[in-house]
Amino acid sequence: MKNFLLIGLFLIPTLAYAQRNNGKGMLYLDENRRPVRRENIMIPAVNGFEVLKCDFHTHTVFSDGHVWPYVRNQEAWQEGLDALAITDHIEYTPHKEDVNVAHNRGYALLVESAKMSNILLVKGSEITRNTPPGHFNAIFTGDASGYTEDRSGEQDRSAVMKAAAQHAFIFWNHPGWQPDIEGSYEWIDFVEDLYRSKALHGIEVINDFDIHLKALDWCIDKDLTVMGSSDIHNLVAHEYDTSKDYVHRSMTLVMAKERTPEGIREALDAGRTVAWSSKYLVGKEEHVRPLFDACVELLPSHYTEVRGNGSKTNWYEIRNNSDLYFELELKEGNGTKRIVLYPRSAQLISAAAGIASLTYEVTSTYVRSNKHLTVDFSLR
Amino acid sequence: MKNFLLIGLFLIPTLAYAQRNNGKGMLYLDENRRPVRRENIMIPAVNGFEVLKCDFHTHTVFSDGHVWPYVRNQEAWQEGLDALAITDHIEYTPHKEDVNVAHNRGYALLVESAKMSNILLVKGSEITRNTPPGHFNAIFTGDASGYTEDRSGEQDRSAVMKAAAQHAFIFWNHPGWQPDIEGSYEWIDFVEDLYRSKALHGIEVINDFDIHLKALDWCIDKDLTVMGSSDIHNLVAHEYDTSKDYVHRSMTLVMAKERTPEGIREALDAGRTVAWSSKYLVGKEEHVRPLFDACVELLPSHYTEVRGNGSKTNWYEIRNNSDLYFELELKEGNGTKRIVLYPRSAQLISAAAGIASLTYEVTSTYVRSNKHLTVDFSLR
Amino acid sequence: MKNFLLIGLFLIPTLAYAQRNNGKGMLYLDENRRPVRRENIMIPAVNGFEVLKCDFHTHTVFSDGHVWPYVRNQEAWQEGLDALAITDHIEYTPHKEDVNVAHNRGYALLVESAKMSNILLVKGSEITRNTPPGHFNAIFTGDASGYTEDRSGEQDRSAVMKAAAQHAFIFWNHPGWQPDIEGSYEWIDFVEDLYRSKALHGIEVINDFDIHLKALDWCIDKDLTVMGSSDIHNLVAHEYDTSKDYVHRSMTLVMAKERTPEGIREALDAGRTVAWSSKYLVGKEEHVRPLFDACVELLPSHYTEVRGNGSKTNWYEIRNNSDLYFELELKEGNGTKRIVLYPRSAQLISAAAGIASLTYEVTSTYVRSNKHLTVDFSLR
Amino acid sequence: MKNFLLIGLFLIPTLAYAQRNNGKGMLYLDENRRPVRRENIMIPAVNGFEVLKCDFHTHTVFSDGHVWPYVRNQEAWQEGLDALAITDHIEYTPHKEDVNVAHNRGYALLVESAKMSNILLVKGSEITRNTPPGHFNAIFTGDASGYTEDRSGEQDRSAVMKAAAQHAFIFWNHPGWQPDIEGSYEWIDFVEDLYRSKALHGIEVINDFDIHLKALDWCIDKDLTVMGSSDIHNLVAHEYDTSKDYVHRSMTLVMAKERTPEGIREALDAGRTVAWSSKYLVGKEEHVRPLFDACVELLPSHYTEVRGNGSKTNWYEIRNNSDLYFELELKEGNGTKRIVLYPRSAQLISAAAGIASLTYEVTSTYVRSNKHLTVDFSLR
């Protein structure tokens, strides 16, 4: 009954917990309570843009999720997210025997909590059709109550078009998720029609632990925005192995002019995003490259080793100034063959003296379905 | 949408996760998914009774909890619980604008999932009055739909008596939880009446991180059963600091003849319980002592140290063969002054040679509001 | 200077640490000190034998290790080892400019500390030749001071024979460790000669993170004892990723009649061992099978699921009652395809109703270089 | 034998570990190896000075430490230290039966490894007298071989004076460490003489987990430099509970113009330091204040809550942009009473609308033995 008055907030005061006795038959053992803290996900600014951590695809009991909307805000706050959308299915509400169907309800219930906790809450819905074409998320929606509920079995575009008419930002969800259904991971006419109608603005290249690499190519070739989402139904704490410091929920990194809903929308419309799933960064080269450059720093050589045969080797420190993770493999130059940069850590690398640069593939990135980012380090 | 067909179960197959590529534009990164595993909470049998880990006080969206009932089963399974009750408030249903009020619903929604995952699901309800007298949990109930909903402001006994008429096991919740209200932590007439009517069978001596020590004395003096509960509304993963291996959700350890609902009920009726909150064990001496004895083992001396002055000291290994935690302070004898026994670990202790025994207080236990368990170790 | 009087022991008293102030200008922050605790590695008895956790291959500053012998005892105690040998190289003493060469010194310095902390200390040495043949460990040695030091470049058997004359137990270390040297991973005449002379009793099938699978076949075919070792030079804490609960230093599991040096020797001579490296168990089938059976338990079916089409599926809980790790893949029967059993945890599995048994390969074991243990579960 | 050629470096290549099979009877399980990574300890620049993480008090087998000097470099690199001194005792060499006494040897053995790994290695020694006066560290020494070894029982100043003549930086170690010896924690004549002779430049206000608060006052009143050290003899990994992210080895934070030995020396001479022990920062207010200001940031209010009674409360996010830890308690103003800022995390706080500022004591700092830093937050 501790939460009797807790109106959906996690606002246990910001205490350091301790054991204490009130002297009247009560002992409090708060030292074993999980500390309430918001993690900072550290990513430096990129080309002057703030990098916002955004999850625009989540579920609650108002469709097939397992939690009340409050939990989504609590998770987002703890994990250091900047923006969140609750995107319950319009057409799939398996709890409807118990929970009244109301398509704007998750947002409405959460809006004050989100404001209080400085989370940018974006209104959204998941429009659900059988696969193909599958599911579409509409965010920055107006009122979703008019979206049809009964057409999941049809290739009907009306709900998407209604969202588009509300100036929503619309993206195609997890296009490769049902590999056994023919046409499920194809650019079918239904999608082409939306695209031509300006009612498709992005594709979920990362969903949960899956990367839809072919969809990355579509985004590049058709000038759509690369999206990444958790699509969380259950608890983030039960789904992600956060004992590893490089594991975070899957999300979209949005390079925004300002930390506001408007700032996010402008960046989404401009396509300035990178999708992120723990070790992997997936996006257009024009965005992945400056993100890498903002995070990773090669210092000037601090030491020249002279080996027995007289050969000289220069040693360098390479630093990852972010909470992202990078793996690099040498492509050109006589130097360290493989580099792993864990969050907020550094490594030592070496190169034969006299060499001007080393070229690596950043194998933990994709800038095409078959291409990693390639980076050159000038050696000093 | 991953959980489209997931009818409330966490039954992601028991995989070791890995990264894999389907060769058709999809990359799966399941290596970063949290492993699905049920922890064994290791507690040896006590006097031939199996020690069952039970939480009979939890909430869902059907009252003021934050999760769908499924989550409670998922948590219980992961944490190694044997038995669980969903005990939503009868009289406090703050989500009722969205969630239809139905007092048996949490149980009904969960019963198949619980069976599949080998969790003993016990039907229950929380009967809610203003404090005093506060709240009462009824478990092993029949149909709770007839319990009154509108009397939280009255000191009305009817709902408790209806539960009692259904042969429920009834306990008083967190008696000391509102220290500022006069009479809130007293054995008031309302409680006395229930007690005399055989409609009160136990008291929640541990609730969440709080120990109601005075209530322990009541249990001892009035032959009531000692109960411990999480009273979880939010997520266990967000409330408990499980980075410490001695932290578990608060619960009742039930010493049962068999791992069945009937076995639990028999043990509750017989009062064979110890309440457990992470570092602390609270109960009647007749139960705490054999539990300690079953878990902690002093080995024969393995070494005699001869010091410079000729004095001799015997060294011993003391082992904790359980997932419980114990702290001991020396009361009598010339030996190690303080011992901390973390879960599944051992310590070295010493005693002057020639001493026959050491006497310790187990300061992490309470067998009276002002008394720890005292144990004697015979030295060999 | 805290350790001024600490004669090599880690015997910080067994305190629960706390912050405290002595009121005279001193504040003690022991709450942040790492707790001193000995982990129990839980492995049930196997066929009535106690399973001892033994590392017979470690180094100190007396050869090319990085630590004083005390650290090896401290590590062994903390990690729950039963037995330890310091096996510094006879012929390779790179610190000799600073550290006086003395081949029995590691043992002598440690013997009292080991006794006090209930670690069975076994005397040993590593006899070091260029590869091939490479290195041999002699344990249960007498006096190693007479072993020659200057013959690492020769295929000289004299030091091994001297150890054998002292009734040492001798095993060939990491036979596959230098894959690029011809003959390095072959049963060469040098080895055959030792074997025929009864001066070779085992082979290190596991060394650190490497498994020498071909050597397992040799052990089986020639009736040699399977050994596993850490060969630790650096700190265990810096080499092993103990954030994973299934990671322990590599070691030999010895199935002994009693926890004494004699008990260990008898078991080594009888070949009752399994080599263990975190996820992997490697040994002869006659030892791996009962070890598996002692640890893993399939419970009777607790639930029959009836699906929409009328088909029935039985559900079972499978428990790992040990700190070992097991992975299983289905070979025969209609049931769960893959099972991962983390330490002290359980999983749910299912099988079509009516099936009498399921057959799995335990892919985390090797009982031949090309063969996993196969197990049958009778279904009840 | 893996380290046969490892000349004291931890330079296992910067790999992401994996399991692999060479197809010739060898299986490599490097996935369970602890990753080699250097942590960045994140502390923003303070007043344009770089904040260097320095430990000038450590031991090896060359006095009473438990490790070869290499381990100290390895630890320093992993933990993100910038500078390290090996300061073995001149007069206390308990391993001398085995290890030849040589007072500059730890430095000499480490100098190349330190260079390669970009650790600034500072030469040093611990000059050891019975208490009082106790011990003194000399760093930036020349040749320590001439320091006397046989005067630990005398209050002899000669060794300190020799170090001073070499222009060493000299500090008094752990002045309060032996509370039971009379005069041990007093400003005795011996110390006064050194001080007047300009042969005492700092005092170890933090040693390991102890804070010598009275020594802080001496530093302030006598213009001496505040020092913090680990004084590590054993392994850092065995002494510090690094499962808590705010726990690091105790050290001196040096605010330097540049990351060079000269830069450090200049800062030490100028007294620009703060001593750090996990949760606590201890130093002169002129250094602790700008360090706090550089790390902690209060954002403008993001939300105004209007409560039922019409009262308004403003909400703020307060961020800790560092790896330090801070606890704050409200002194003035109507706002959140207690704030805990874990490393790289944020909290929500609130204040009554209309209030211009809140005043807190930073209770995790000491700027006098009886005084915490006080900070004012202007509210926007």
Task: For B201-218, write each residue's pLDDT tens digit.
Answer: 999 999 999 999 999 999
Burial string for C177-207 (b: 16+ CB within 10 Å, else e) reads: bbeeeeebbebeebbebbbeeebbbbbbbbb
pLDDT attached to residue A212 = 97
Q: For residues B160 and B127, is the Cβ–Cβ distance under 8 A?
A: yes
Q: For residues B62 and B93, is the Cβ–Cβ distance under 8 A?
A: yes
Asked whether residue C212 carries a pLDDT value surpassing 80, the answer given is: yes
Confidence band for C9, pLDDT divided at 50, 70 and 90: very low
> What is the DSSP code string of D285-333?
HHHHHHHHHHHEEEPPP-EEEE-TTS-EEEEEEEEE-SS--EEEEEEES
Asked whether residue B266 carries a pLDDT value surpassing 50, the answer given is: yes
For helices B105-116 and B69-79, the axis angle rounded to 10 degrees is 40
Average pLDDT over residues A151-169: 93
Chain C, 249 to 288: residues with Cβ < 8 Å from chain D are 277-280
Q: Which residue of D has its CA nearest to C97?
A: D100
Which residue type does B117 have? S
State pLDDT tens for residues A105-117: 999 999 999 999 9
Q: Rounded to whole angstroms, how far apart are CA atoms B154 and B227? A: 25
Q: Rounded to whole angstroms, how far apart are CA atoms A79 and A230? A: 13
Confidence band for C148, pLDDT divided at 50, 70 and 90: confident
Asked whether residue C110 carries a pLDDT value surpassing 50, the answer given is: yes
Q: Is A201 on the interface with B (CB under 8 A)?
A: no
Chain A, 132 to 161: residues with Cβ < 8 Å from chain B are 135
Asked whether residue A296 carries a pLDDT value surpassing 60, the answer given is: yes
Q: Rounded to whole angstroms, how far apart are CA atoms C45 and C226? A: 19
Confidence band for A13, pLDDT divided at 50, 70 and 90: very low
| D302 contacts in chain A (CB < 8 Å) | 115, 118
Asked whether residue C150 carries a pLDDT value surpassing 70, the answer given is: yes
| Average per-residue pLDDT for chain A | 93
As a whole-number percent, the residues of chain C with pLDDT over 90 amount to 88
Put simply, the answer to whether C339 touches B40 (Cβ < 8 Å) is no
At C224, give phi and psi (nearest 5°): -105, 160
pLDDT attached to residue A189 = 96
Nearest to C27 among D109, D211, D237 (CB): D211
Q: Rounded to whole angstroms, how far apart are CA atoms D301 and D299? A: 6
**Reading across the β-sheet that carries A338-341, which strands appear in turn?**
A338-341, A326-332, A357-362, A373-378
B206-to-A24, B55, B279, C281, C289 alpha-carbon distances in Å: 15, 11, 12, 43, 44
> What is the DSSP code string of A138-189?
EES-S-GGGS-SS-TTS---HHHHHHHHTT-EEEE--TTS-TTSTTTTS--H
pLDDT attached to residue A7 = 38
CA distance D146 to chain A (A): 31
Tokens of D217: 């006052």
pLDDT attached to residue D17 = 59
Asked whether residue A60 carries a pLDDT value surpassing 70, the answer given is: yes
Q: Which residue of B has its CA nearest to C117?
A: B348
As a whole-number percent, the residues of chain C with pLDDT over 70 amount to 95
Q: For residues A94 and A64, is the Cβ–Cβ distance under 8 A?
A: yes
pLDDT attached to residue D150 = 81
**What kind and span of H or E run contains A320?**
strand A312-320
Q: Is C221 on the interface with D (CB under 8 A)?
A: no
> What is the DSSP code string of D238-289?
HHB-TTSTT----EEEEEESSSSHHHHHHHHHHT-EEEEETTEEEE-HHHHH
Q: Rounded to whole angstroms, how far apart are CA atoms B369 and B226? A: 13
The pairs formed by B331-336 with CB atoms below 8 angstroms and a separation of 24 or more are: B331/B359, B331/B360, B331/B361, B331/B374, B332/B357, B332/B358, B332/B359, B333/B357, B333/B358, B333/B359, B336/C13, B336/C14
Nearest to D67 among C66, C247, C277 (CB): C66
Average pLDDT over residues A56-73: 97
As a whole-number percent, the residues of chain A with pLDDT over 70 amount to 95
Which residues lie closer than 8 Å to D261 by C-beta, 6 or more apart? D83, D120, D122, D140
State pLDDT tens for residues D184-197: 999 999 999 999 99
As a whole-number percent, the residues of chain D with pLDDT over 70 amount to 95
Put simply, the answer to whether D115 touches A317 (Cβ < 8 Å) is no
Average pLDDT over residues D250-255: 98
Put simply, the answer to whether B37 touches C346 (Cβ < 8 Å) is yes
Q: Rounded to whole angstroms, how far apart are CA atoms B134 and B194? A: 13
pLDDT attached to residue C21 = 83
CA distance D92 to chain A (A): 34
Burial class (CB in 10 A: 0-12, 13-18, 19+), D265: middle
Short-list B256, B342, A5, CA closest to C34: B342
Confidence band for C159, pLDDT divided at 50, 70 and 90: very high
| B68 contacts in chain A (CB < 8 Å) | 61, 65-67, 95
Burial string for D123-151 (b: 16+ CB within 10 Å, else e) reads: bbbbbbbbbbbbbbbbbbbeebeebebeb
Average pLDDT over residues D197-204: 98
Asked whether residue C11 carries a pLDDT value surpassing 60, the answer given is: no
Q: Which residue of D has its CA nearest to C247?
A: D32
Asked whether residue B5 carries a pLDDT value surpassing 70, the answer given is: no
> What is the DSSP code string of B225-283?
EEEEE--BSS-HHHHB-TTSTT----EEEEEESSSSHHHHHHHHHHT-EEEEETTEEEE
The separation between the first and the last C-alpha atoms of chain B, rounded to the nearest angstrom, is 63
Put simply, the answer to whether D116 touches A303 (Cβ < 8 Å) is yes
Which residue type does A237 have? A
Tokens of D20: 């692999």
| C70 contacts in chain D (CB < 8 Å) | 66
pLDDT attached to residue D130 = 92
CA distance A132 to chain D (A): 37
pLDDT attached to residue B301 = 97
For helices D105-116 and D69-79, the axis angle rounded to 10 degrees is 40
Put simply, the answer to whether A240 touches B33 (Cβ < 8 Å) is yes
The predicted complex's ipTM stands at 0.94
Average pLDDT over residues C113-130: 96
Q: Is D304 on the interface with A (CB under 8 A)?
A: no
Nearest to B302 among C40, C118, C321 (CB): C118
At C351, give phi and psi (nearest 5°): -145, 150
Average pLDDT over residues D130-146: 95
CA distance B196 to chain C (A): 40
Q: For residues D58 and D208, is the Cβ–Cβ distance under 8 A?
A: no
pLDDT attached to residue D10 = 43
pLDDT attached to residue B16 = 52
In DSSP terms, which residues pair with D126 in a beta bridge?
D89, D137
Q: Kindly report which listed range (B7-16, B275-284, C125-134, C177-186) carries the lowest average pLDDT score.
A: B7-16
pTM recorded for the entire structure: 0.96
Q: How far is CA B153 from the centre of its chain?
A: 29
State pLDDT tens for residues D264-277: 999 999 999 999 99
pLDDT attached to residue D6 = 36
Average pLDDT over residues D60-64: 97
Q: Is D13 on the interface with A (CB under 8 A)?
A: yes
Q: Rounded to whole angstroms, how far apart are CA atoms B134 and B181? A: 11
Neighbours of B247 (CB within 10 A): 21
Put simply, the answer to whether D3 touches C234 (Cβ < 8 Å) is yes
Asked whether the CA dihedral C54, C56, C60, C64 is positive or negative, the reply is negative
Nearest to A240 among B34, B71, B208 (CB): B34
Q: For residues B110 and B86, is the Cβ–Cβ distance under 8 A?
A: yes
Nearest to A231 among B2, B65, B67 (CB): B2
Confidence band for D11, pLDDT divided at 50, 70 and 90: very low
Put simply, the answer to whether C241 touches D32 (Cβ < 8 Å) is yes
Average pLDDT over residues D298-313: 94
Ranges assigned E (strand) in D158-257: 169-172, 202-207, 210-212, 225-229, 251-256
State pLDDT tens for residues B56-96: 999 999 999 999 999 999 999 999 999 999 999 999 999 99
CA distance A304 to chain B (A): 38
Average pLDDT over residues C137-160: 91
pLDDT attached to residue D170 = 98
pLDDT attached to residue C18 = 62
Confidence band for C13, pLDDT divided at 50, 70 and 90: very low
Asked whether residue C149 carries a pLDDT value surpassing 60, the answer given is: yes
CA distance D169 to chain A (A): 25
Asked whether residue C15 carries a pLDDT value surpassing 60, the answer given is: no
Q: Rounded to whole angstroms, how far apart are CA atoms C327 and B14? A: 10
Asked whether residue D1 carries a pLDDT value surpassing 70, the answer given is: no
Q: Is D303 on the interface with A (CB under 8 A)?
A: yes
pLDDT attached to residue D38 = 96
> What is the DSSP code string of A228-288?
EE--BSS-HHHHB-TTSTT----EEEEEESSSSHHHHHHHHHHT-EEEEETTEEEE-HHHH
Q: Rounded to whole angstroms, how far apart are CA atoms C210 and C231? A: 11
Q: Rounded to whole angstroms, how far apart are CA atoms A10 and C71? A: 45
| B8 contacts in chain C (CB < 8 Å) | none
As a whole-number percent, the residues of chain B with pLDDT over 70 amount to 95
pLDDT attached to residue A14 = 46
Confidence band for C246, pLDDT divided at 50, 70 and 90: very high
Q: For residues B338 and C16, is the Cβ–Cβ distance under 8 A?
A: yes
**What kind and span of H or E run contains A74?**
helix A69-79
**What kind and span of H or E run contains D26?**
strand D26-29
Chain C, 159 to 178: residues with Cβ < 8 Å from chain D are 173-174, 176-177
CA distance C286 to chain D (A): 21
